[in-house]
Amino acid sequence: MASTVWAITTTTPTKDAALEIANTTVAERVAAGAWISGPVTSAWWHLGESGTGEEWKVELRTSDALRDRLAARIKDLHPWDNPELTGNRIEWCPPEYVEWIEKSTGAAE
């Protein structure tokens, strides 16, 4: 039975924070891989006011079995109390990619 692959995304205020989340979750094998892009410019409404700022986007891949553990770990590592944290199920990918996700995260063990 093939597991579902998830793309989990967050943003951070600095490249160093993005690297910490990416490196830690991959080393702990709750994410198979992570891609960091940025800086990106964000516009937001927060604490009663609008603003803009620079952020770094982190997109991680994980298995269905580890999705919630990865989300919890990102929250633990994140410098913000209520970070942007979203997940999208990957609708299609080759079986070899699913196998890589499972082996890299230990989901297949």
Q: Tell me how far apart the alpha carbons of residues 75 and 10 are, in angstroms, rounded to a whole number.
A: 10
Write out the H or E segment, with its range, that includes residue 7: strand 5-12
Q: CATH no. for residue 40? A: 3.30.70.120
Q: What is the pLDDT along the chain (109 residues), one digit of tens a residue?
A: 446 899 999 999 999 999 999 999 999 999 999 999 999 999 999 889 999 999 999 999 999 999 999 999 999 999 999 999 999 999 999 999 999 999 999 865 6
Domain of 61? Answer: 5-105
What is the number of domains present in the chain? 1
Cβ-contact 100, 26 below 8 angstroms: no
Cβ neighbour number for residue 92 with a 10 Å cutoff: 6
Q: Is 19 exposed, middle or buried (0-12, 13-18, 19+ CB in 10 A)?
A: middle
Give me the amino acid identity at 42. S
The confidence score (pLDDT) of residue 3 equals: 61
pTM of the entire predicted model? 0.92
- The pLDDT value given to residue 108: 59
